[in-house]
Amino acid sequence: MRRTLVAANWKMNGNKASNEALLDAFKKGFDGSADTAIFPPALYIPQLAESLKGTDIAFGVQNAYFQESGAFTGELALSMVKEFGCQYVLIGHSERREIFGETDALVAEKVAATLAAGLIPMLCVGETLAERESGVTETVVKTQIDAVLAKVGIAAFETIVVAYEPVWAIGTGKTASPEQAQEVHAFIRQLLVAEDAAVAAKTRILYGGSVKAASAEALFGQPDIDGGLVGGASLIADEFVAICNAAQG
């Protein structure tokens, strides 16, 4: 009942020519077996809107601010994001949390504002290596999810996509094993079940962290893994096509 979703986080990479080459190869190779979304740097959103016209491939921004307008230099309002045809907003990526100091409270504000704008938040959560090694993975993830639950309530999780991304697996080449990932995904689903089982059954929970074509099928085959959020491998056309095509619908 939950259709697999595979998303590409291009981070701060690319240029017009390389984007077009990547999009062309993706449009040719993708077999449509999953829902897909691409998060380019925001300046390239018009390029994606044009290139992806007439396809089912969605796109979104890697970050946006929760205020409607005003003196927030450097930020993007969600109304602007919507005006340019985005469907998704990536929120709380670990790089935003770590490098730009985003707190759980700010992440929750952004999720609420994204929903209010009629867009889909992709909420990233996950523990650092130190947290995993000290046995607090579940506490960390629960705190991150609870902050959003407290702000928007469980019903919003019919729309929100959760991306579990262990920080130690992002960009490191160290993918969590399918079993390690499934354990945390099941834990996240149980947190939602405790609030509303019917909603929890619909929430898509993606895995992110060094997903490659070689690991995608085993990850996506786990009962609570509903797709992936892919960074590095999404910049390599063949790899990303193979990851998306590994989804079984």
Q: Should residue 108 be labelled a site residue for ligand PEP when binding is judged by CB under 6 A?
A: no
**Residue 230 makes contact with ligand PEP by CB under 6 A:** yes
State the Cα angle at 219 between 88 and 228, rounded to 5°.
Answer: 10
- Token pair, residue 70, equals 């005003």
Q: Least distance (Å) from ligand PEP to the CB of residue 212?
A: 8
Cβ closest to ligand PEP, residue 77 vs residue 89: 89
User: At its nearest, how many Å lie between ligand PEP and the CB of residue 17?
Assistant: 22
Q: How many residues bind ligand PEP (CB under 6 A)?
A: 14
Query: Considering the complex, what minimum distance in angstroms separates the CB of residue 170 from ligand PEP?
Result: 4
CB 107 within 8 A of CB 148: yes
Write down the least CB distance from residue 94 to ligand PEP, Å.
8
Told to check if 221 binds ligand PEP by CB under 6 A, we report no
Read off the amino acid at residue 239. E
Residue 77 Rama label (left phi>0; alpha psi -120 to 50; beta): beta
Alpha helices in the chain (DSSP H): 16-29, 45-51, 78-83, 94-99, 104-116, 129-133, 137-152, 178-193, 197-200, 213-220, 237-245
Residues 54-93 that bind ligand PEP (CB under 6 A): none
Question: Interface with ligand PEP by CB under 6 A: which range of 71-79, 102-110, 153-161, 224-232?
Answer: 224-232
Residue 165 is among the residues annotated as catalytic for this protein: yes
Q: How far is the CB of 54 from ligand PEP (least distance, A)?
A: 27
Residues 145-184 that bind ligand PEP (CB under 6 A): 165, 170-171
Residue 205's nearest CA partner among 1, 12, 2, 28 is: 2
How large is the C-alpha radius of gyration of the chain? 17
* Whole-number Å distance between alpha carbons of 248 and 220: 8
Task: Choose between 184 and 229: whose C-beta lies nearer to ligand PEP.
Answer: 229
What string marks each residue from 21 to 60 as x (binds ligand PEP by CB under 6 A) or -? Answer: ----------------------------------------
Angle at 80 between CA 76 and CA 82, to 5 degrees: 120
At residue 230, the 3 state secondary structure works out as: strand
Q: Is 118 exposed, middle or buried (0-12, 13-18, 19+ CB in 10 A)?
A: exposed
Query: Is residue 126 at the binding interface for ligand PEP, with CB under 6 A as the rule?
Result: no
**Which of 131, 165, 185, 239 is flagged as catalytic?**
165
- The yes-or-no answer on residue 185 being catalytic is no
Check 93, 102, 127, 185 and give the catalytic one.
93
Catalytic site residues? 93, 165
Residues of the shown chain interacting with ligand PEP in the complex, contacts defined by CB under 6 A: 9, 11, 165, 170-171, 208-211, 229-233
